[in-house]
Structure 1
Amino acid sequence: MAPSNITQRDPSQLKPWPGNARTHSKKQIKQIARSIETFGFTNPVLIDAEDNILAGHGRMVAAQSIGMRSVPCMLIEYMSDEQKRAYVIADNKLALNAGWDEEILAIELQALIDIPDLSFDIGVIGFEPSEIDILIDGQSPEDRSAPDEDDKLPPLDKGALVSRTGDLWICGDHRIYCGDSLNASTYEALMGEDRAQMVFTDPPYNVPVKGHVSGLGRTKHDEFAMASGEMSRAEFAWFLMSIFKHLNHYSSNGSIHFVCMDWRHMTEILVAGEEQYTELKNLIVWAKDNGGMGSFYRSRHELIFAFKNGTAPHINNFELGQSGRYRTNVWEYRGVNSAGPDRMEALALHPTVKPVTMIADTMRDCSARGGIILDAFGGSGSTLIAAEKTKRRAQLIEIDPIYVDRSIRRWQICAHDDAFHAETGQTFDEMAAQRQSSHHDAKSEDGLREVTS
């Protein structure tokens, strides 16, 4: 074996091996190019004396795609023609014969993800977000019929409200802001310069809770703070249009926005969506296992509109099932109106609570670990719990302090962690005790005034 030499060559002067059977998709060439940009050109192209490529065809094309004028090459002069012909095949095939210790791989992937302020996109290592999810979580789309432990809800606290309008709560990697999602200042306070990778939101359906939310009379709800049947069709379309405008501004170009709605208001959401979004990617039917309320056919489904913001490529982690995630636009998940020991607790927490498993699968479809998920109507916090479960970062807006409190308590039980107030630094429980004490003091003073008057 003769010594080999490292030399620099213009990639346009290199010649692909005439019998090279290895192919490279456009997607893979982009991956190689990103790797070169991140880590440098660490693996020289192998060439013979006539500048024929023996190994590194993909690297050469990737280098050209990012405008490199010179690439390191290793000159191989000792091989016979027969050896070169065999080596071109061997170099590709031998690498394919390797495997992975998936347990160690999952640990290494998680270690990379856990690095704060990682200086590069985790996707540069070549694994798709869905592959990383499956390797770390050990699962593809979950069992959609079985009860989800994460749908179990904390007991309702009947004490004084903790959250107030304008409060920003930090829940681990997540944030909840108590405010009006119609106001741009709310999004600015919540997100600042951050932009969401995906949106999942469940706006009020502009129907009164009374007569439209089942509970067999045992669970009573106040009406929603807005869009609870008081708006005309034109007003509701304007309401949705205003929300969508903010969601677009505070999410990345190419992001997918999943918006839940009932069949009664398809017209309004389509009008608003056509005005604000680039396209409607699909209409998803959430098929529950039992029917809800309704006289002319009991309604067993809800609709989820998948809109696209902008024209940049969107994240698609299922790709016709290529990565093990076979997904259609009919989603079968248990609803809270299904029989079960936690059914009434779920209805008590929020009248239109969505299953965590469904939202978590949606996040796995169109976002990556560490990506921001924006929800303009946080409700009972199911988006928050799904983000915690899938290692995304939820940023929620909720106008009603009752639901902000319930979401935080739910997250604290799920995450075994304490939420804290962004301004004061107090934990949620510390502020709850403080405001509960103030509430009791105020009641005592009121009682004393009544006695002495």
Structure 2
Amino acid sequence: MPVDRVTPAMARRIELWPLERLVPYQRNPRTHSEEQVTQIAASIAEFGFCNPILVDSRDGIIAGHGRLLAAKKLGLDEVPVIVLDHLDETQRRAYLLADNRLSELAGWDSELLALELKELADAGFDATLAGFDSKEIDDFLASLERDAEPESSEAEDAVPEVPAEAVTRPGDLWLIGPHRLICGDCRDRGLIARLFEDRKANVVITSPPYATQRQYDLSSGFAPVPPEKYVAWFKDVAAAIESVLAPDGSYLLNIKAHAEEGERHTYVMDLVLAHKRQWGWRFVDEFCWRKTDDGVPGGWSNRFKNAWEPVYHFSRERKIKFRPREVGHWSD
């Protein structure tokens, strides 16, 4: 969108107002959890009240509701404000949204962010005061360490021959750097508890076996599940996932119903509905995994062969960790 070369209205001064003079906007759609208010308060205590509250000519808050709550938490008597008396009523309401939304559209340079966090940590500064939690900081620092590791030689990356006798047995737990891998039945909640210990998963992604569409290695102990028994068989899988999923986590299920006698089987539909109606999951959305280069379906005698597979998104709670703008990208 082109922007005309004009001189915008600018605030000329900052005023100090008592807290009781400020009037919160009753229809403010932006929410502030107690945890976030505590973070804002800690930031103000560390850096000072660097970001004044924006108000209109009637003392109503346009931007800064979270900062007001933090000021009350800190026991402050007054706060800095900037009066935006040049906005009309419609502009005031629009800017209340824009002030929050425009900042969300910015991104991060992950490499530079990791460097900044590392240097702050090296200086002994508590980087959580910048709004990042300890796990996020650890993940960024770990990414720097991984990038600093020398590339493996071809010999180190070579895949060894499969031994005549399997090394891994059911119940074996492998520690692979920061990762954990266990051999066993994913429906066994005791086994899953060993894998996760006291941790919780933010995301669980599973692509379970098809019903009777394929033959599996009999030595694995898994036998194809008839479609009419699939939902009952999968119940323990969903329960195991629930036992380790964080309250605000997501569970993604990738499964495509096979066709019999020229028509799709309905057991996957039954499975999706069972998650919602029997097991209490929230059905968040459905995604398509494109599997061919051109997205054009193949053909059978009486139907198309889909060039995609469905991925079903479930959660236990309404509010989940979901930041699509940070992980999404356009397809090639």
Give the TM-score band, short-chain normalised: 0.5 to 0.7
What 5-or-longer segments of structure 1 have no aligned partner?
1-6, 18-23, 77-83, 138-151, 211-220, 334-453
What 5-or-longer segments of structure 2 have no aligned partner?
1-15, 88-98, 145-156, 259-266
1:292, 1:298 within 8 Å by CA — same for their partners in 2? Answer: yes
CA separation of 1:238/1:25 partners in 2, compared to 1, >3 Å: closer, same or farther? same
2:299, 2:305 within 8 Å by CA — same for their partners in 1? Answer: yes
Matched, 1:239 2:233: yes
Structural RMSD (CA): 5.1
What is the TM-score normalised by the length of structure 2?
0.58
Give the alignment partner of residue 188 of structure 2, picking from 163, 183, 189.
183
Cα displacement string for residues 253-272 of structure 1 (whole angstroms, at most 9, x for unaligned residues): 13211111112331342243
Asked which structure has the greater RCO (Cα within 8 Å, sep 6+), the reply is 1
Cα displacement string for residues 43-75 of structure 1 (whole angstroms, at most 9, x for unaligned residues): 23899xxxx999x98556444279627226478
Partner of 1:157: 162
Taking only the aligned residue pairs, the percentage that are identical comes to: 12
Partner of 1:272: 274
Report the Cα distance in structure 1 between the residues aligned to 2:254 and 2:195, rounded to whole angstroms: 22
Matched, 1:282 2:278: no
Give the alignment partner of residue 259 of structure 1, picking from 239, 253, 261.
253
Letter in 2 for 1:222: D
Deviation at 1:158, TM superposition (A): 3.7
Q: Which aligned pairs between 1:312-351 and structure 2 lie closer than 5 A?
A: 312-318=318-324, 325=328
CA separation of 1:102/1:241 partners in 2, compared to 1, >3 Å: closer, same or farther? closer
Cα displacement string for residues 204-239 of structure 1 (whole angstroms, at most 9, x for unaligned residues): 1122534xxxxxxxxxx625846642x333421112
1:205, 1:261 within 8 Å by CA — same for their partners in 2? Answer: yes
Partner of 2:30: 26
Report the Cα distance in structure 2 between the residues aligned to 1:276 and 1:113, rounded to whole angstroms: 46
Partner of 1:36: 40
CA separation of 1:326/1:269 partners in 2, compared to 1, >3 Å: closer, same or farther? same
Letter in 1 for 2:320: H
Matched, 1:204 2:209: yes
Letter in 2 for 1:173: P
Matched residue of 1:26: which SS?
coil
Matched residue of 1:235: which SS?
helix
Letter in 1 for 2:321: I
Report the Cα distance in structure 1 between the residues aligned to 2:44 and 2:228, rounded to whole angstroms: 56
Letter in 2 for 1:107: A
Letter in 2 for 1:36: I
Cα displacement string for residues 375-412 of structure 1 (whole angstroms, at most 9, x for unaligned residues): xxxxxxxxxxxxxxxxxxxxxxxxxxxxxxxxxxxxxx
What is the TM-score normalised by the length of structure 1?
0.44
Give the total of aligned pairs: 259
2:44, 2:50 within 8 Å by CA — same for their partners in 1? Answer: no
Deviation at 1:199, TM superposition (A): 0.7
Report the Cα distance in structure 1 between the residues aligned to 2:275 and 2:112, rounded to whole angstroms: 42
